[in-house]
Structure 1
Amino acid sequence: MKQKFLAVLWCVLGTCLHSKAALVAHYRFDEATGATAANDELAGTAGAVGSGVTTGVAGISGNAYSFAGSSASQDGIVDMGNASFFSAITTSGEFTFSVWVNTTDTTGNRNTVIFAGDNTTSNVYADLGVAAGQAGYLGSASARNRPVGADISQQTGIYSSPTVDPVNDGNWHLLVMTVSISSEIMSLYVDGVLANTQIMTTSALPNFNNFEIGRLGRSSPVDPYQGLVDDIQIYDQALTASEVDFLYANPGVAIPEPRIVALLGLGMSLSIRRKRG
């Protein structure tokens, strides 16, 4: 009886309360071969798919996109421009970037998967990617939050090495970075494991006017990414370790909205009380 009750409750709540308060953008990359636009599931800003990006390849969840990484040209990226979700993360002072990657690249520098920042200058952005060929960090994940005025340590950012193994091994890996201005902490996770953190000396977010997948989209773009990318999720909160673990265990699934979780708990409690009564 309890299982039936919860199944019905989940169905009802999943239909009526599917607003996902903290999720502000979700690019599944499930489009078919030849797609020219990457759609945001939440109806936010769509991304223009460059002619050098291959869509419709097998992903960790549904389809994925393949990036050649041969140059940092516009043809090789997905470009959302001044994405609609920027206002949400600027207001909250927090964000989480989550993305599945699959690469065997061993060349280049910090090959950028996610770029969010100012495309009119050189060093004002947040980025998440793979340090495929960077000496001392070969194949590790990397993350940076570089607001105006950041010192050298914050400009350098953090790496997942040596806490976890390199991610350029031809397997799917979940990369997650979280930033919280109030706590002054940036965190980097790989496959649900906290790999590194940084106390930010300049606790601020970058200026945002450009969101791109596949390169460091600053004023002079560099560091193209080579490999597969799937299921990009953006939150206006710094997710907890347990929430990041949920994303790793459930590829393609967003964090359940708190209201749904709370009401499910209430439903279970009511069901148990009725059974006892």
Structure 2
Amino acid sequence: MNLRTLAASSLLAFSLSGHAALIAHYTFDESAGATTATNEVDGSTAGSVGTLVTTGEAGISGNAYRFTGGTAQDNIVDMGSASFLPAITTSGQYTLSTWINSSEAAGGRNVVVFIGDNTDSNSYIDLGTAIDGLTPPGQAYMRHRVDTNGTGANSFFGGSDGVVVDGSWHHLAMTADTTTLTISLYVDGIFRASGPIVPGSSGDFPVLNNFEIGRLGRSSPTDGYEGLVDDVQIYDEALSAGDIAFLFANPGQAVPEPSALALIGLGAFGLIRRQRA
């Protein structure tokens, strides 16, 4: 790579948002037989690995977890009322990011990431895949559903280009911003769909007291996910399209912190100066 190309690529990295707030990062790199999903963010909640979840599988980056599609507690990774959930409510924004690999051809919705109220049947945020009623089936989907807003229509699908149930690795990301009342879906680094947040009786957000991987963890759990999951990340802001593209291009990495971006930018500046000299 010549200096111009290296400098340009460094400046591109520097253009990513400089205020990414990573509040949870589950790499799922644990070896076979692990019972705890480590959270790479210091002081943040780890996950309890169900006995029917297989760890130590080959992932998109390091290892991954395999889920069976069941909805019992043994079939999920459970973070419970995780310590990072209040940060999302306070900011009024979030980003969910994960890698999946699934061939599941059954089920209406197959939930990968769930955040919501485990005492309510209609108050949650979820991201995953869907089969029934879609043409073609197997698309990525997202929802942001607030208690009694009277609609389950906060579901938006990625269209034919958003098909992810094909036995290959795909990156899913969902962003939400209550300032603009908008949620957005990205598949493999590309924007696919957006829609409005419909407020409910508790406001723009559902109650957030439960975080799970592998099912819809509401009052009556349902919609188990079958397949591999890797590298689950949560941010307490709606990342930019450039940030999402970075996550897709760099499996296993988080969006760089401002200090790292500053160093990248200074490195690019130094290369440009040396080349001009």
TM-score class, shorter: 0.7 to 0.9
Structure 2 residues without counterparts, runs of 5 or longer: 11-18
Residue identity opposite 1:93 in structure 2 = G
Q: Distance in 1 between matches of 2:173 and 2:275?
A: 42
Q: Aligned runs of 1:1-277 on 2, under 5 Å? A: 22-43=21-42, 44-69=44-69, 71-132=70-131, 134-137=132-135, 138-152=137-151, 154=153, 156-162=154-160, 164-202=161-199, 204-269=204-269, 272=272
Q: Report how far residue 153 of structure 1 moved.
A: 5.6
Q: TM-score, normalised by structure 2?
A: 0.87
Q: Distance in 2 between matches of 1:186 and 1:209?
A: 20
> Is the contact between residue 113 and residue 213 of structure 1 (CA under 8 Å) also seen in structure 2?
yes
Answer with 85-94 or 225-234: which moved more.
Answer: 85-94
Q: Secondary structure at the match of 1:168?
A: coil
Q: Secondary structure at the match of 1:259?
A: helix
> Is the contact between residue 77 and residue 213 of structure 1 (CA under 8 Å) also seen in structure 2?
yes
Q: Report how far residue 187 of structure 1 moved.
A: 0.3
Q: Secondary structure at the match of 2:185?
A: strand
Q: CA RMSD in A?
A: 2.3
Q: Distance in 2 between matches of 1:274 and 1:235?
A: 37
Q: Secondary structure at the match of 1:189?
A: strand
> Is the contact between residue 103 and residue 226 of structure 1 (CA under 8 Å) also seen in structure 2?
yes
Q: Which residue of 2 aligns with 1:17?
A: none
> Is the contact between residue 162 and residue 187 of structure 2 (CA under 8 Å) also seen in structure 1?
no
Q: Distance in 2 between matches of 1:196 and 1:21?
A: 22
| Identity level (%) | 52
Q: Could you give the per-residue CA deviations for residues 162-203 of structure 1, whole angstroms, max 9, x where no partner exists?
A: 3x1421100000010000001111001110111110022327
Q: Distance in 2 between matches of 1:271 and 1:158?
A: 44
Moved over 6 A (4+): 274-277
Q: Distance in 2 between matches of 1:264 and 1:194?
A: 26
Structure 1 residues without counterparts, runs of 5 or longer: 11-19
Q: Secondary structure at the match of 1:108?
A: coil
Q: Distance in 2 between matches of 1:35 and 1:41?
A: 16
Q: Could you give the per-residue CA deviations for residues 71-112 of structure 1, whole angstroms, max 9, x where no partner exists?
A: 210010000000111111111110000000000001011110
Residue identity opposite 2:223 in structure 1 = D
Q: Report how far residue 206 of structure 1 moved.
A: 1.3
Q: Secondary structure at the match of 1:148?
A: coil
Residue identity opposite 2:95 in structure 1 = T
Q: Report how far residue 37 of structure 1 moved.
A: 0.4
Q: Distance in 1 between matches of 2:99 and 2:65?
A: 11
Q: Distance in 2 between matches of 1:235 and 1:272?
A: 33
Alignment: residue pair count: 260
